[in-house]
Amino acid sequence: MIQLGYFTLDTPDVEKARAFYAGLFGWRFDETASSPTYAHVAGSDPAFGLTKGEHKAFPNLYFRVDDIHAACARVTELGGRCAVPAESPSGLSAVVSDDQGVSFSLWQPAPGY
């Protein structure tokens, strides 16, 4: 079985990204594992962090949320953009981008998922 073991989100401005994701998901950062070019998300499983880099394409990541409409509203409040959520048998999903244009997706599972 293949599982996501680690990932990073590349961003031009690590500090700005820290503020955005902390505001959106409540992420805390492990300062001892972080540096000016990397912010390690504390207590994450799988482990991941934010890396300073150029905006580039990367695999689409889906972050599970309880209320996709509230999460999309929060993305917009924090300066990001959000597409209209789409419905599928697995639930609702929306492609969003943070306040620097980095894309990812939100997913609200359907009952039973």
Q: What is the pLDDT of residues 80-97, one digit of tens each?
A: 999 999 998 888 989 899
Q: Is the model's pLDDT at 18 over the cut of 80?
A: yes
Tokens of 52: 């300073």
Rounded Cα–Cα distance for residues 51 and 69 (Å): 28
Q: Is the model's pLDDT at 2 over the cut of 50?
A: no
Rounded Cα–Cα distance for residues 24 and 36 (Å): 21
Q: Which of 16, 14, 8 is nearest to 58 (CA)?
A: 8
Rounded Cα–Cα distance for residues 21 and 28 (Å): 9
Rounded Cα–Cα distance for residues 105 and 61 (Å): 6
- Return the pLDDT at 94: 93
Q: Which of 33, 31, 26, 24 is nearest to 102 (CA)?
A: 24
Query: Is pTM beyond 0.75 here?
Result: no
